[in-house]
Structure 1
Amino acid sequence: MTTASLEPAFVSAVQLLGGEGVLQAQPRVGLDWIPLLRRGLPAASVDALVRITRITQSELARALAIPERTLARRKREGALSPEESAKFVRFARVLERAETVFEDLESALGWLQSPNVALGGATPLSLLDTDIGEDSVLDTLGRIEHGVFA
């Protein structure tokens, strides 16, 4: 057994959104996401995210403040708007970070869906529809990682 096989296999934001096959790109750094966001993510990204996280499309739509009917229409059209795409990438990147902190996808998903005292009793997932909410969630993850919240 090699050392690499002992490392946890974390799910990247790219994988959460369907991988290179769906995205038709392999973003490696933040700036690589910009062209994808500007043209809109393929609607298949939503299905990939739902499949991997087992968070329903309705729950994601509600958490990201995207009307369900709009999301259904985007899926028929084949692509999300740039604004909707940014919200899905925000969610995927936060989930990627949470998985790194908790070292497990299931634990990360559980944390995202549980009320959090450090976030005023809100669930982290419910705050990801805004940049400020994302910043607060990432700050809380950083505090957890450094042992501030046990």
Structure 2
Amino acid sequence: MAKAILEPQQNKVSGGRDSGQSVAGAGSRVEQVRAEYVVSAGRPAAALVAQGAAGAWVLYRNQFLSSSAQTQISEIRKGASASNLIGMAEALHVPRERIYQLIGLSASTAKRKLARDETLDPPMTERLNRIGAIEKLAEDTFGDPVMASAWLQTSNLGLGNLAPLSLLDTEIGCREVSRVLNAIAYGGAA
């Protein structure tokens, strides 16, 4: 399930102060255009699905991140589909083997899980989603998935001159990358 997208819909409304309108003069009524928002989940979801494995990964990631803590715990315990490894690799523009390393899977185990359409175990699912949260934070910070991917793969002074992606195999590394992204987003020192 994709996150809902808000789209503006123009409606004309007339009224006085009680309906939130400004009044130009005493006793006059002013028409004002008010933007209401409607929820549209179909179009973005269809566009992401058209992107193949990367789009399916982004849909899964966004659904997971927008879920309640209880739902996230349940999803982690259930295990994510191994196909998300391919989607994450495509979305980040990195080799699959790099994602296998970050998740803590050998290439042979990953290939077996993919061939049999198996799920990842809970610790691997948790790592996958933790990396997904950093990926999403980078996309939100830079406003573009391609820029986010490039930033994650580029050495960063604030991270000891290491590429942020190289730190995402540990919780502490994810916290450090998150700290730098928040500093970038809010103008602090990285």
2:79–2:120 contact (8 Å) kept in structure 1: yes
Q: Which has the higher contact order (CA 8 A, sep 6+)?
A: 1
The corresponding residue for 1:141 is 181
The corresponding residue for 2:108 is 69
Amino acid at match of 1:37: I
2:93–2:149 contact (8 Å) kept in structure 1: no
> Which of these residues, 113, 116, 138, is aligned with residue 156 of structure 2?
116
Structure-2-length-normalised TM-score: 0.63
Which runs of structure 2 are paired with 1:1-150 in the superposition (5 Å)?
3=8, 17=57, 19=59, 26-27=63-64, 28-29=66-67, 31=69, 32-77=71-116, 78-149=118-189
Equivalent pairs: percent with the same residue? 26
2:85–2:99 contact (8 Å) kept in structure 1: no
Quote the Cα distance in structure 2 between the aligned partners of 1:129 and 1:66. 11
Quote the Cα distance in structure 2 between the aligned partners of 1:90 and 1:30. 15
Shift of 1:92: 1.1
Give every structure 1 segment of 4 or more consecutive aligned residues whose post-TM-superposition deviation is greater than 4 Å: none
- The structure where strand makes up a greater share of residues is 2
When Rg is computed on C-alpha atoms for both structures, the one with the higher figure is: 2
Amino acid at match of 2:163: T
Structure-1-length-normalised TM-score: 0.78
Shift of 1:109: 0.3
Number of equivalent positions: 137
Quote the Cα distance in structure 1 between the aligned partners of 2:125 and 2:155. 25
SS in 2 for 1:29: coil
The corresponding residue for 2:23 is none
Shift of 1:73: 2.5
Amino acid at match of 1:96: K
- The structure where helix makes up a greater share of residues is 1
* RMSD of aligned alpha carbons: 2.5
Quote the Cα distance in structure 2 between the aligned partners of 1:131 and 1:90. 8
Shift of 1:149: 4.4
